[in-house]
Amino acid sequence: MLSFGSLNINAKDLSLEASSNSSKNSFFEFFKKKNRQHIHIVGSSTVYPFSATIAENFGYQNFYKTPIVEATGTGGGFKIFCSGIGFDYPDLVNASRRIQKSEISKCQENGISVGEIKIGYDGIVLANSIQGIDYNLTLEEIFLALASQVPDQKNPLRLIANPYQKWSDINSKLSNQKIIVYGPPPTSGTRDSFSELVMEKTCLKIPAFIKNYPDEKIRAKKCHLIRSDGIFIEAGENDNLIVQKLKNNPIALGIFGFSFLEENRQLIKASKINNFIASQDNIISGSYQISRPLFIYFKKEHLDLIFAMRQFISEIISNNTLGFEGYLLQKGLIPLTDLELKNVRDEAEINLKN
């Protein structure tokens, strides 16, 4: 017991009070550190330019902190996004394909309810340097150039390791230049879409694949396999790297989104696919066959957890963003139809009201 005049203080009480204050300080410091004030977005490198543009406009016009956007690839983005709820986990994920059942299950396991916003469309292009030759390829020719296995020309029902080294090996009317294609890794949504829209679509009906893989699900997986002998080169999630590779190697082709082509037309040009050029009109009409929808997904649990989340969702679906004169169209996004846009807004507004 300590005595100061008429004031008596118990040392044990003092110790407990100090300990209590220390715990309180630690408690508040923990939440101060964890309670971030910015929105965090991960995912597709294809959707990244659109999402980053929305983030910049949101931060500038509304005086909120500009959301942080990272290009992790669609698959990698979903893996992080679905890992949990709270300040340590991203709030939104960009995707160049629709979320898969396995990813929905992973989110549900961690208590996450997912909201979907389709923002528009994009084409997938095979492009080369403006210094290179002009290509006009069919889906089958692209498949035969890149597939791990192809039908044996001597025995069409037999599958063999891909022997083709030059485009002219596939079709004598094509260039005799060596086949070199730079493309995205398996974690990329562009790779997923390319595998589905080009590889699988072509391969499922090839007699040799039907004979060797009668189960359609197994056949589809085999159709997705890309050769690993150096003809196809994975160039990571950075599309700028692919453009530099094409600039330095005029005979090579690269796979990426139409919007990225639009930004780099001074350096690269797209191949025609089945006689159709990659253009906004041809993608909308379906004449250009390699196209897919683009999405942004959000955590419903974060709508009230993260500051300005509701306002950011409203910015995404606004007429200023996705409308026919919206700023994303200036970045190369292919717009939704009027009905699609109405459905997207109706669904998002229901989520925002709940």
Q: Compute the average pLDDT of residues 259-268.
A: 89
Rounded to two decimals, what is the model's pTM?
A: 0.77
pLDDT in tens, 281-301: 999 888 999 999 999 999 999
What's residue 354's pLDDT? 80
How far apart (Å, rounded) are the C-alpha atoms in residues 171 and 140? 11
Exposed, middle or buried by CB within 10 Å (0-12, 13-18, 19+), for 20? exposed
pLDDT in tens, 218-231: 999 999 999 999 99
What's residue 34's pLDDT? 63
Domain architecture of the chain: domains with CATH: 34-122+293-353 (3.40.190.10), 123-292 (3.40.190.10)
How far apart (Å, rounded) are the C-alpha atoms in residues 44 and 70? 9
What H or E segment, with its residue span, contains residue 105? helix 101-109
How far apart (Å, rounded) are the C-alpha atoms in residues 111 and 209? 41
Split at pLDDT 50, 70, 90, the class of 18 is very low
